[in-house]
């Protein structure tokens, strides 16, 4: 029996190692826009499958998939096609999956989505931050507007799956740490954009970020709110 268990464990370890090598190879090969358009959906599917539980992925594998997306965002040729891919597909899909995980965590479920884990959220932050820092000005402005509308007003119209509750209030301090910790994704969307990109409703945004940073008891939530507040203040013109 012990020998059988050891054999199964060894096979699983080899399978995980193979998947990790494949993801790393995808990231290394993805510099041309045409390749980016083919490789990024594969990595996004890892996150989606891990979230739904349709395929078993460890937290480490999900983090690696995010790191591979971040490498692609950093190394891909700076073209309009690549920018559109991240703006139209990758960033909305990441926000959608994270929001689905947060809302699913509120109800009974046998499957715990790895997208609730701090390590995974921080890895998603690195993807979005890197992508936003390289967006063309027009796309960067749209990203800022979308992110602010999502977090202030619950506007999910730009997400690939917008069948979310109409009363979303992601910046209101409350009992749900799963939702409040998503503020780290707002930080990723708005704090790495060029200074020339105007962040809409910034006074209202700063007010709610300040409230969250002072009243929320969940560490990732209040620390991310404080960092986002500071990042936005630093972007404002002096005086």
Does the pLDDT value for residue 70 go beyond 50?
Answer: yes
Residue ranges of domains in the chain, CATH in brackets? 2-235 (1.25.10)
Return the minimum-mean-pLDDT range out of 5-14, 71-80, 227-236: 5-14
The conformation of residue 89, written as its DSSP 8-state character, comes to I
Helices (H), 79-201: 80-84, 91-104, 118-133, 137-153, 177-180, 183-190
How distant is the alpha carbon of residue 45 from its chain centre? 14
Mean pLDDT (whole number) for 134-160? 95
**For residue 161, what pLDDT is reported?**
84
**For residue 239, what pLDDT is reported?**
45
**For residue 104, what pLDDT is reported?**
84
Does the pLDDT value for residue 175 go beyond 70?
Answer: no
Q: pLDDT-based confidence at 83, cuts 50/70/90?
A: very high
Mean pLDDT (whole number) for 213-225? 94
Does the pLDDT value for residue 6 go beyond 70?
Answer: no
Does the pLDDT value for residue 108 go beyond 70?
Answer: no
pLDDT in tens, 53-67: 988 889 999 999 999
Does the pLDDT value for residue 200 go beyond 80?
Answer: yes
Q: pLDDT-based confidence at 1, cuts 50/70/90?
A: low
Share of the chain above pLDDT 70, in %: 90
Nearest C-alpha neighbor of 209 from the set 176, 182, 236: 182
CB 212 within 8 A of CB 173: yes
Does the pLDDT value for residue 174 go beyond 90?
Answer: no
H or E element that contains 74: helix 59-75
Share of the chain above pLDDT 90, in %: 74
pLDDT in tens, 17-60: 888 899 999 999 999 999 999 999 999 999 999 999 988 889 99
Higher pLDDT, 4 or 220: 220
Give Cα separations from 131 to 15, 83, 163 (angstroms): 30, 8, 26
The whole-chain average pLDDT of the chain stands at: 90
53: left (phi over 0), alpha (psi -120 to 50) or beta: left
Q: pLDDT-based confidence at 80, cuts 50/70/90?
A: very high
Mean pLDDT (whole number) for 100-121? 82
Does the pLDDT value for residue 176 go beyond 50?
Answer: yes
Q: pLDDT-based confidence at 107, cuts 50/70/90?
A: low
Q: Per the structure block, which two tokens stand in for 120?
A: 């995974």
């Amino acid at each position: 029996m012990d020998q059988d268990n050891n054999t199964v464990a060894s096979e699983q370890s080899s399978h995980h190692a193979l998947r990790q090598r494949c993801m790393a190879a995808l990231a290394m090969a993805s510099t041309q826009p045409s390749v980016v358009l083919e490789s990024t959906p594969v990595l996004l599917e890892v996150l989606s499958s891990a979230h739904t539980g349709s395929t078993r992925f460890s937290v480490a594998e999900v983090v690696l998939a995010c790191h591979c997306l971040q490498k692609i965002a950093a190394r891909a040729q700076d073209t309009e096609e690549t920018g559109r891919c991240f703006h139209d597909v990758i960033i909305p899909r990441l926000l959608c999956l994270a929001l689905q995980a947060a809302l699913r965590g509120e109800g009974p479920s046998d499957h715990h989505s790895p997208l609730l884990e701090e390590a995974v959220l921080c890895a998603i932050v690195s993807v979005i931050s890197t992508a936003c820092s390289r967006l063309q000005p027009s796309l960067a402005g749209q990203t800022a507007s979308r992110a602010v509308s999502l977090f202030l007003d619950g506007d999910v119209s730009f997400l690939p799956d917008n069948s979310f509750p109409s009363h979303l209030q992601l910046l209101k301090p409350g009992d749900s740490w799963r939702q409040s910790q998503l503020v780290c994704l707002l930080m990723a969307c708005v704090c790495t954009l060029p200074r020339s990109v105007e962040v809409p409703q910034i006074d209202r945004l700063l007010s709610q970020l300040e409230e969250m940073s002072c009243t929320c008891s969940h560490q990732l939530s209040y620390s991310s709110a404080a960092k986002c507040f500071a990042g936005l203040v630093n972007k404002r013109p002096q005086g």
